[in-house]
Amino acid sequence: MDELLTDQALAAAARELAGRAGYNPGFLGVPVPIPELPHVKTVLLPYTHFSVLMRPDKRLAAVTALGMDGKKLMDLDRAGIQWRLDPRLPEDQQTGERVYAHNDIDRGHLVRRASAVWGDTGAEAAQANEDTFHYTNAAPQAAKFNQGIELWLGLESYLQENAADNSRRIVVFTGPVFGATDPVYRGVTIPLKFFKVAVFLQGGKLGATGYVVDQTPQLADLPDVPRPGVTDEAPPLGPFRTFQVPIRDIAALTGLGLDQLVAVDRMPIASTLPSARVTETWRELHSPEDLDLDFDLGQ
């Protein structure tokens, strides 16, 4: 398995990754830096078209940052690509195959594979395709959650196709929402919720929208996973339901520095009810048409 690579092979893999440019904060033509996580040790790992800000204490990402160029997307398959550890980070600071073996837990891509696979050449797109299969870009997700949440996976494509100008580019930040009731499984925290923030230009101005999805009930059904602390009663958000949420709520839940994006949140209720409690103004989504935005996606 990947964990048994020789020192020589690990060194070669590290040299190859050393040239990765990672996420470009100027991708939209307006600086949009990767959100920081104050007072927590993090490690930034660049890949092709995206970067991962790792939390060694959790062995998972705090946030991933992707620049997606919709005009250059390519349709490549994943056949033959294996998940691998990142040799730039000690093994005990990232997840590996042991967490995902012999259970119903998926290696859930944080940076969506299809959104990263673009480039001026097929080689560039293929490199991005392979880069998404590092364990640093994975998080433990119930199989039903990962495989069945089509709306969650499709949000960034929908916004890229309908809301973003500037040559149809979009930036996507994604990551876990760590909470006190998250179960620990094989030494790794399994987040009950995940967030996504999409950033784009609309009419030449920066805009952003935020989303949260919940996998609590699915994890409670896995036989070897400790039951989350909230399973005494139905979780308030229900099974893998997707919500549009104020970005300020994501900042409050994660501790990430999202002030720039809070200020340009295109969810109207974010500005009309600035003092609302976290979760109070979340909007359930059944399809992209349910999005509540202060602009017309058709423009």
User: What does 223-247 look like in DSSP terms, one character per residue?
Assistant: TTSPPPTTTTS--TT-TT-EEEE-H
Q: What is the pLDDT of residues 60-100, one digit of tens each?
A: 999 999 999 988 999 999 888 999 999 999 999 999 998 88
Measured CA to CA, the distance from residue 17 to residue 14 in angstroms comes to 5
Q: Is the pLDDT of residue 241 over 80?
A: no
Domains of the chain: 2-290 (3.40.570.10)
270 Cβ neighbours under 8 A, 6+ residues apart: 246, 247, 248, 262, 281
Q: Is the pLDDT of residue 260 over 80?
A: yes
Measured CA to CA, the distance from residue 118 to residue 69 in angstroms comes to 7
pLDDT at 189: 86
pLDDT at 261: 97
**pLDDT band with cut points at 50, 70 and 90 for residue 286:** confident
Q: Burial, 251: exposed, middle or buried (Cβ in 10 Å; 0-12, 13-18, 19+)? A: buried
Q: For residue 121, give both structure tokens.
A: 């050449």
Higher pLDDT: 124 or 104? It is 124
Q: For residue 100, give both structure tokens.
A: 């995902």
**pLDDT band with cut points at 50, 70 and 90 for residue 2:** very low
pLDDT at 273: 81
Q: Are 247 and 210 in contact (CB under 8 A)?
A: yes
- Provide the mean pLDDT of the chain: 83
Q: Tell me the mean pLDDT in the region 135-154.
A: 75
pLDDT at 231: 33
Higher pLDDT: 32 or 163? It is 32
pLDDT at 288: 76
Q: Is the pLDDT of residue 201 over 90?
A: no
**pLDDT band with cut points at 50, 70 and 90 for residue 238:** very low
Q: Of 90-104, 115-129, 210-224, which one has max mean pLDDT?
A: 115-129
The residue to which tokens 């987040």 are assigned: 191
Q: Is the pLDDT of residue 149 over 70?
A: no
> What H or E segment, with its residue span, contains residue 53?
strand 50-55
Higher pLDDT: 112 or 238? It is 112
User: Considering the entire predicted model, what is its pTM?
Assistant: 0.87
pLDDT at 250: 97
**pLDDT band with cut points at 50, 70 and 90 for residue 171:** very high
pLDDT at 235: 28
82 Cβ neighbours under 8 A, 6+ residues apart: 2, 133
Tell me the C-alpha to C-alpha distance, in Å, between residue 258 and each of 153, 182, 252: 22, 23, 9
Q: Of 24-28, 74-78, 196-200, 290-294, which one has max mean pLDDT?
A: 24-28
Q: Tell me the mean pLDDT in the region 1-25.
A: 74
At residue 148, what are phi and psi to the nearest 5 degrees? -110, -5
